[in-house]
């Protein structure tokens, strides 16, 4: 699928293995997730627009680059929060919006409870952050909301994606690029990704 990009850097694979491990405690889970987010940020922004500028080194004049495209990060609460720190570390100018969604346990449909995004989404690269892309209901709803607010260049960044969720996003939003560290096997009857890493929000915040 042309809009799906798997980030398979060896260091990302190593970290994902640690996150999948049920024995990894919350404090370590958070730290690894943050480190992975920085590694992912490099791949996701590889084609970011830059502008050439003139600078002076201590020795002579030369040319350099500055980022010429605003970046807006939009974590889906709660689990998306775990990726924000790592992205901000390498994109310090990024503005951050928030979308509050949780999945109804019975219907697996997303229930929205909070939206707050920066103005001027139109010319920005908008990166939706959510570790888990399962049925794709939450991701699809978040994308629709951001488009309604004017976003035109949206990427969906996940750690682990199920084929069902990828298909949903590709079908409903064919213009959106999906970045993930792993395309997993599928979903169980309760909508959890297999092999997955469990409930990402619970593991980040210690609420399991």
Alpha-carbon span 66 to 125, nearest angstrom: 15
- State yes or no: residue 76 binds ligand PRP (CB under 6 A): yes
Residues in 1-20 that interact with ligand PRP by CB under 6 A: none
Distance of alpha carbon 18 from alpha carbon 156, whole angstroms: 23
User: 192 contacts which partner out of ligand URA, ligand PRP, none, CB within 5 to 8 A by kind?
Assistant: ligand URA
**Closer to ligand PRP by Cβ: residue 108 or 183:** 108
> Is the preceding omega at residue 195 within 30 degrees of 0, hence cis?
yes
**What residues does 160 pair with on adjacent strands?**
132, 182
* Shortest Å, Cβ 22 to ligand URA: 13
CB of 200: closest distance to ligand URA in angstroms?
Answer: 4
Q: Does 82 bind ligand PRP (CB under 6 A)?
A: no
- Residue 206 CA to residue 57 CA, distance in Å, equals 48
Nearest residue (CB) to ligand PRP, 133 versus 176:
133
Gap between the Cα atoms of 186 and 146, Å rounded: 27
Which residues are near ligand URA by CB under 6 A?
79, 132, 134, 191-193, 196, 199-201
User: How far from each other are the two terminal CA atoms of the chain, in whole angstroms?
Assistant: 35
Look at residue 82 and give the partner it binds from ligand PRP, ligand URA, none, a contact being a CB closer than 5 to 8 Å depending on partner kind. Answer: none
51 touches 68 (CB < 8 A): yes
For 50, the token pair is: 């830059």
* SS3 letters across 19-39: HHCCCCCHHHHHHHHHHHHHH
Q: Of residues 7, 15, 36, 138, which one binds ligand PRP by CB under 6 A?
A: 138
Residues numbered 56-75 forming contacts with ligand PRP, rule: CB under 6 A: none
- Give which of ligand PRP, ligand URA, none residue 9 binds (C-beta under 5 to 8 Å, depending on kind): none
Cβ proximity of 89 and 65 under 8 Å = no
Select the binding partner of residue 193 from ligand URA, ligand PRP, none (C-beta < 5 to 8 A, by kind): ligand URA
Instruction: Characterize the bridge pairing of strands 71-77 and 95-96.
Output: parallel
Contact residues toward ligand PRP (CB under 6 A) are 76-79, 101-103, 108, 110, 130-139, 165, 191, 199-201
């Amino acid at each position: 699928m042309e809009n799906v990009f798997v980030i398979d850097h060896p260091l990302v694979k190593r970290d994902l293995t640690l996150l999948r491990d049920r024995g990894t405690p919350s404090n370590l889970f958070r730290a690894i997730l943050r480190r992975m987010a920085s590694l992912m940020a490099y791949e996701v922004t590889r084609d970011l627009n830059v502008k050439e500028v003139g600078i002076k080194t201590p020795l002579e004049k030369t040319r350099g680059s500055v980022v010429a495209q605003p970046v807006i990060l939009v974590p889906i609460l709660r689990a998306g929060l775990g990726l924000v720190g790592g992205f901000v570390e390498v994109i310090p100018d990024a503005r951050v919006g928030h979308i509050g969604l949780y999945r109804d346990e019975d219907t697996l449909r997303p229930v929205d409870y909070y939206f707050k995004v920066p103005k001027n989404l139109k010319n920005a690269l908008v990166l939706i952050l959510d570790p888990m892309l399962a049925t794709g209901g939450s991701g699809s709803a978040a994308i629709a909301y951001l488009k309604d607010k004017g976003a035109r260049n949206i990427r969906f960044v996940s750690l682990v994606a199920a084929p069902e969720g990828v298909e949903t996003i590709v079908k409903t939003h064919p213009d959106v690029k999906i970045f993930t560290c792993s395309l997993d096997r599928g979903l169980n009857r309760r909508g959890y990704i297999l092999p997955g890493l469990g409930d990402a929000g619970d593991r980040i915040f210690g609420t399991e």
